[in-house]
Amino acid sequence: MLVLTRRPGEGLTIEPDGGLDPETSVRELFSEGLVTFRIINVSGNTVRVGVEAPADLLVLREEHLRREE
């Protein structure tokens, strides 16, 4: 499980790993399992979110996605 801390206005993105064809259907994308989000902790303005996802999906903090573009 990947655990991320998010503050108001911050997000996360889930996308196929680089090895997948961009034309992969949603059904194929989730054939290995679903993505599950769990709220781990809430403290003031921060939330710790646990993300369980198949290995062929990338979970990126929004600020890392902007750097890659």
pLDDT, residue 65, reads: 65
Residue 67: exposed, middle, or buried by beta-carbon count in 10 A (0-12, 13-18, 19+)?
Answer: exposed
* Alpha carbon distance 31, 55 (integer Å): 11
On the CB side of 6, how many CA atoms lie within 13 Å of its CA?
20
- Which residues of the chain, if any, have pLDDT below 70? 19, 22, 65-69
**Domains of the chain: residue spans and CATH:** 2-68 (2.60.40.4380)
On the CB side of 4, how many CA atoms lie within 13 Å of its CA?
16
CB 6 within 8 A of CB 41: no
pLDDT, residue 57, reads: 81
Tokens 């034309």 correspond to: 23
